[in-house]
Amino acid sequence: MSTERDEIAVVGAGLAGCLLACFLARRGYPVALYERRPDPRTGTAERGRSINLALSERGLDALRRIGLAEQVMVDALPMRGRMVHPVVGEPGFQPYSVSGDRAINSISRGALNNALLEAAAKLPGVRIAFDHRLVGLDPATGEMTFDTPQGPVTAGARVVLGTDGAGSAVRGQLLEHGLLTESVDFLDYGYKELTIPPLGGDFALDPGALHIWPRGTSMMIALPNPDRSFTCTLFWPTHGTASFASLGSKAAIERHFAQHYPDLLPLAPNLVDDYQHNPVGVLGTVRCDPWQVDGRVGLLGDAAHAIVPFYGQGANCAFEDVVELDRCLSECADDWSAALPLFQHRRQENAEAIARMALANFVEMRDKVASPVFQTRKRVEHA
């Protein structure tokens, strides 16, 4: 019978945390998975918070290793290219591959998280504690303090792994103890989600593409959902004369979309309500060093390296982290004090590369995909 002191604590039951719990349990570890929120399988999604995401081969590889890819892919919608919507004229399709058959997959974030949570819960040795928000950590002993609806709770663990996202409390605790340095670079752009419901029972736009409305200083994308709706994400500066804050009335919102996104307006009957009530999310790049302390505390996923979403690779990258940590544990005969530094050594450079590429892709998506030069080049590439 294992005790709390033998357990590996995984803090944050998001995409990375649930996958990590599955990999660790398969290695035979007792795992305690702590999550600040209630069980998502019993609740509803938060309004306007990244409803779907693009899952690519990097993420699928991780899911295949735990036998979950097939189940997750049942509801996936493959997107084989970009559909670029100009202000005037017909949208143009730009395939992602020369053969036209390679795709990224639009997946419900909630369904993916629930499938991973379910898979973790089924494995022997995994216990899940919801409504546990980590608020304290002693990196020397692994003792954690959680806020719960019943009051503060303390727990111990042999190793503590922070998969608690971009605003990681585990990272915060290491910072407070002077054990790491971090930089958080916020973009002056935020994002807001809008919905295109089904039209006459069918998709209102082509579901085989990722739709983009590049507008220079702003940009919108739309990904299809299994219920035949689309979730649009509008990226725009958070402040200034042309920004989310600048549209104060129903008329101003309608005028703005009629001018810049004229083909969207008739397809989005709840546009004004969505715009007025959905929150503006922040976007930023998190860098920190080191990602681990003494083989006892480690960071994975967004907690170690959150990136802006323009390459659609944050979750894919978090999944790759888990596969790599599992590989490092195998190579180091499960010696955590060797495996965690090796993991950082192998992943940090890659995380930095995708962080930079994601920022560069923002410029391409909001601007260059609409330029005549880019479209000509694409036509030649894909001829």
List residues near ligand FAD by CB under 6 A. Answer: 11-17, 34-37, 50, 53-54, 133-134, 163-165, 169, 191, 233, 281, 301-303, 309, 312-316, 318
Report, in Å, the least distance between residue 75 CB and ligand FAD: 15
The 10 Å CB-count burial string (b at 16+, else e) for 104-131 is: bbbbbbbbbbebbbebbbeeebbebebb
- State yes or no: cis peptide before 139, omega within 30 of 0: no
Report, in Å, the least distance between residue 304 CB and ligand FAD: 8
Smaller CB separation from ligand FAD, 17 or 81: 17
Smaller CB separation from ligand FAD, 4 or 381: 4
Assess contact for 369 and 83: CB atoms under 8 A: no
Report, in Å, the least distance between residue 157 CB and ligand FAD: 13
Question: CA-CA distance, 213 to 195, in Å (whole number)?
Answer: 15
Smaller CB separation from ligand FAD, 12 or 290: 12
Alpha-helical runs (H) found in the chain: 15-26, 57-65, 69-73, 109-122, 169-176, 250-260, 271-277, 302-305, 314-331, 336-366, 372-381
Smaller CB separation from ligand FAD, 75 or 254: 75
Report, in Å, the least distance between residue 34 CB and ligand FAD: 5
Smaller CB separation from ligand FAD, 11 or 63: 11
Smaller CB separation from ligand FAD, 94 or 233: 233
Who's near 290: CB < 8 A, 6+ residues apart? 179, 180, 341, 344
Report, in Å, the least distance between residue 12 CB and ligand FAD: 3
Assess contact for 82 and 210: CB atoms under 8 A: yes
Smaller CB separation from ligand FAD, 134 or 194: 134
Report, in Å, the least distance between residue 373 CB and ligand FAD: 27
Report, in Å, the least distance between residue 308 CB and ligand FAD: 8
Residue nearest to ligand FAD (CB): 14
Closest CA to 234 of 212, 254, 258, 210: 212
Give me the phi and psi of 311, to 5 degrees please: -105, -5
Closest CA to 303 of 346, 333, 338, 347: 347
Assess contact for 31 and 127: CB atoms under 8 A: yes
Smaller CB separation from ligand FAD, 58 or 327: 58
Strand, coil or helix: what is 94? strand
Smaller CB separation from ligand FAD, 86 or 237: 237
Tokens standing for 166? 């971009």
Within a 10 A sphere around the Cβ of 88, how many other Cβ atoms?
6
Under DSSP, the state recorded for 48 is: T
Report, in Å, the least distance between residue 110 CB and ligand FAD: 11
Q: Which amino acid is at 178?
A: G
Report, in Å, the least distance between residue 368 CB and ligand FAD: 19
